[in-house]
Chains A and B, each alone.
Chain A
Amino acid sequence: MARQDPRKDVVIVGLGWTGAIMGMEMCEEGLEVLALERGPDRETVPNFRYPEVADELRFGVRFDFMQRARQSTLTIRHNTNQTALPYRRFGSFLLGDGVGGAGIHWNGVHWRPMAEELRLRSYVEETFGANIIPEDMQLQDWGVTYEEMEPFLYRFEQVAGIAGVAGNLNGEIQPGGNPFEAPRANPFPMPPLPTTLSNRMFAEAAQAAGYHPFIKAAANASQAYVNPYGMQLGPCNFCGFCERYGCLNYSKSSPQTCILDALKRKPNFQYRTGAEVLRVELAEDGETATGVTYFDETAQEEVFQPADIVILAAYQMHNVHLMLLSGIGQPYDPATGEGVTGRNYSYQMMGSTAAYFRDIDFNPFVGAGANGIAIDDFAINQIDFAAEGFIGGSYISNSQTNGQPIRSLSLPEGTKTWGAEWKRGIGEWYGRSMGVGTHGSNMAYRDTYMDLDPTYTDRHGRPLLRLTFDWKPNEIAMTQFMRQRIEPLVESMNPTSWTSSYREDGASYDTTSYQTTHNVGGTVMGNDPATSALNRYLQSWDVHNVFVMGAGAFPQNLQYNPTGMVGGLTYWSADAIRRDYLPNPRPLV
């Protein structure tokens, strides 16, 4: 029989970015808060300390900070006619694990969503007409506007300590920033990172082509900084071990560097590690949750943890999985288009051109995760979708993040991958290349979704989550459009040679090669309970004391990295809970 622990006001599932933010916000209300984290505890010392963390094989290649597929994974298929197979060995995306979650191993690239993106269906219909929307594309508005989000996006930028240049301050375009971004009320908390040679070469090429280059906003500190919680960051030392690693230098924004020490000092906050939540328990009427049941790794037993409010703050896929396992929201059915839980999965369309320069040593190991120059001239609000034949956009950028030789050594096209030619190639070309990439949006479709797998189970005997996803012609057209903009820019830099990698017609989703861990959707937010699992405050439509954080709320993916919006949405939801829900618990919409 399950052990039962004393009741808490709030139980938080997962202690990454969103769990840590919610912990602070709920503790500030004086509530008794317990966070349950499936993985191990992690702190800068000892877990990220030098020199042990500068270990490419252990962390960059063998993923020691990530979730183990053996403990938890999902199945994947391209379409509903296939049998999904387990994601046995991680490749395309890397799920985090332990305290800090994916917040420890990201690069720290920071963006706000574009105003048009948060009301994308309305924007497309008003600007181009509904008839340009493909029949199977389930384009949606988010239910919140950029103007509503702005103070909460800034709150996250203050806490995370973002380094960057504002492009639009209260409607006035600023030199050096992104002129296409939506208005900010405040400048960034820190000035931007310094730039590498590769960055400046790209910036000059973009400028010469008439585009508007700017230094990317970074969750890598550029100077000494103290955030609103009293947490301290020091300037990034360009160690070249950022993504897939914890930060050895207190420079990369993470729950550890920005929140957790302050949170752990709160007397009304507790957290447990080795505590994997198995399901949310519902009251008999199904309208409220009574708490969660988790597996206590130390005691090797199930524990029922009663709570008045349940906040799902695990990664997007795990939140969807828990909702499906717990019967929260009707599961989505692609045959009928009905149901909401698991609906509208989307990913991120990436592509790049690598350029090789025989006479330039870029010192690629001089790298910061969020280093770089971007242009936003081909963003969603800059493209005529009707004329170009697709819906979406992308930023285009150069970044120099690392020179790790096992995973990042790039050789000119046609070089053999082993033998004398390869060996000669690595001597000639290591450090002699730079890249220009597109980071593009991905819409959601009728048959891109998540449900429970009928065959495969996890170590607790629960069905694995099943993901159905493939690339669609709309995104192929978008990325090919970007390719046509990028290749002339690269050619204008006069490289010795260059090679492109963009998805073409008929490309299928390859789960084996790393693309990005920007998986979104499945617990979509919105104003229509028929097409969203959560209302605009991230509250379950059906179970009003369950709030669900994270990028699962995105109805379709942004053209940008998601963390800025994920952080902003968490503060937005916390504000609604504090101001409106706690005094009178009920459906807020």
Chain B
Amino acid sequence: MKNILIPTRRAFLQAGAAGVAASGFQPLWAQEPVVPLDQYQPEFLSGAEWSFIMAATARLIPSDGDGPGAIEARVPVFIDRDLAGPFGQAADWYMEGPHEPGANPDFGYQTPLTPAEIYRGGIARFDEWCVAEYGAAFADLSTESQDAALNALETDAERAEEALGPAAGEGEQATNETAASPAGQGGQGGAGGNENGAQTQTTVRIMPDELRDFFALLVQNTKEGYFSDPKYGGNHQMASWVYIGFPGARASFLEWVDKDNIPYPLGPVSINGERA
């Protein structure tokens, strides 16, 4: 066992029951009941979008096996709050035009859309594709179909990169229009033509260029919600930190520098003073 010296919550409560009672200590999260996810009122996401985020994050970090899943970690709450805040509005990013959303991916984020707009458009487009491909919106699919659909979305995002891979764009404007399937055309996978003779791509892309960052954002934000401090709404009870053995915000380890291959004995703390 990797984290054999890190007490589980149950072991901690059992072993230290007397001490806990004497000090009146209770973990902060035990004092503040959280709203169950099925009663949570999203700040940004619509009902259908919330259903998608619940379903998608549950496949990106599933609940079965060791450690918490995205649902137990309350990742959907993190994503909803994040999109309602400065991150969702691209508040820190340079968003002036002109925009070249189909540019060589080496040049990064080039869409005119904010992350909130990418989620809004991306979820709608992906659900539309799921209906065409599997006969139902993503949230209503079997977990097997959901995994297959996410794999297709990931491949689609990789294809967007490869279409303008490292050698492309040399000697010409880095502004190629890739063969996108614009949202609203209901493109069937696998049947596409390609308007750009320079590319050999024959498959219609699920996401148009403006939305090509959707999958990467979804995966990144899911992991952020899983691993960030609980004050942001995810990583409920610091369960992801307990799972991997990260002590959170302890931030003082000088005496452990020379403790070779000995697991650190204390569980995580959060910025607001919770212990797990």
**A120 and B232 alpha carbons, distance in the complex (Å):** 51
- Does any Cβ of A come within 8 Å of B256's Cβ? yes
Mostly helix, strand, loop or mixed at chain B's interface?
Answer: loop
- Does any Cβ of A come within 8 Å of B36's Cβ? no
- Does any Cβ of A come within 8 Å of B174's Cβ? yes
**A509 and B223 alpha carbons, distance in the complex (Å):** 26
A-B contact pairs, 8 of them (CB 8 A): A51-B271, A70-B94, A83-B174, A197-B261, A361-B2, A361-B261, A404-B246, A418-B222
User: Quick one: given A430-B246, A512-B108, are A70 and B240 in contact (CB under 8 Å)?
Assistant: no
**A290 and B116 alpha carbons, distance in the complex (Å):** 47
- Does any Cβ of A come within 8 Å of B61's Cβ? yes
- Does any Cβ of A come within 8 Å of B138's Cβ? no
Chain B window 232-276, contacts with chain A (Cβ cutoff 8 Å), 1 for yes, 0 for no: 100000001101111111111110111111111000010101000
User: Quick one: given A62-B92, A85-B103, are A423 and B251 in contact (CB under 8 Å)?
Assistant: no
Residues in chain B within 8 A of chain A (CB atoms): 2, 59-62, 64-67, 69, 87, 90-96, 98, 100, 103-110, 147, 150, 154, 166-167, 169-175, 219, 222-224, 227-229, 232, 240-241, 243-254, 256-264, 269, 271, 273
Nearest-CB residue, chain B, relative to A405? B227
User: Is the pair B271, A52 in contact by a Cβ cutoff of 8 Å?
Assistant: yes
- Does any Cβ of B come within 8 Å of A77's Cβ? yes
- Does any Cβ of B come within 8 Å of A230's Cβ? no
- Does any Cβ of B come within 8 Å of A122's Cβ? no
User: Is the pair A76, B219 in contact by a Cβ cutoff of 8 Å?
Assistant: no
Choice from B91, B106, B147 contacting A419 with Cβ under 8 Å: B147
Interface centre among A79, A85, A406 (most CB of B within 10 A): A85
**A400 and B59 alpha carbons, distance in the complex (Å):** 32
Please count how many residues in chain A sit with their CB below 8 Å of the partner chain's CB atoms: 74
- Does any Cβ of B come within 8 Å of A578's Cβ? no
Q: A220 to nearest B CB, angstroms?
A: 11
Give every chain A residue within 8 A of B227 (Cβ-Cβ): 56, 405-406, 409
Give every chain A residue within 8 A of B66 (Cβ-Cβ): 423-424, 427
Residues in chain A within 8 A of chain B (CB atoms): 50-52, 54-57, 61-63, 68-70, 73, 76-79, 81-83, 85-89, 91, 194-197, 200, 235-241, 248, 359-363, 365-367, 403-406, 409, 417-420, 422-424, 426-427, 430-431, 455-457, 506-512
Choice from B93, B105, B174, B259 contacting A512 with Cβ under 8 Å: B105
Give every chain B residue within 8 A of A194 (Cβ-Cβ): 254, 257-258
User: Is the pair A88, B67 in contact by a Cβ cutoff of 8 Å?
Assistant: no
Give every chain A residue within 8 A of B224 (Cβ-Cβ): 57, 61, 406
User: Quick one: given A79-B170, A419-B62, A423-B62, are A238 and B271 in contact (CB under 8 Å)?
Assistant: no
User: Is the pair A417, B257 in contact by a Cβ cutoff of 8 Å?
Assistant: no
Q: A199 to nearest B CB, angstroms?
A: 9
User: Is the pair A85, B100 in contact by a Cβ cutoff of 8 Å?
Assistant: yes
**A76 and B108 alpha carbons, distance in the complex (Å):** 10
Nearest-CB residue, chain B, relative to A426? B244
Give every chain A residue within 8 A of B252 (Cβ-Cβ): 237-239
User: Is the pair A365, B247 in contact by a Cβ cutoff of 8 Å?
Assistant: yes
User: Is the pair A238, B62 in contact by a Cβ cutoff of 8 Å?
Assistant: no
Q: B163 to nearest A CB, angstroms?
A: 14
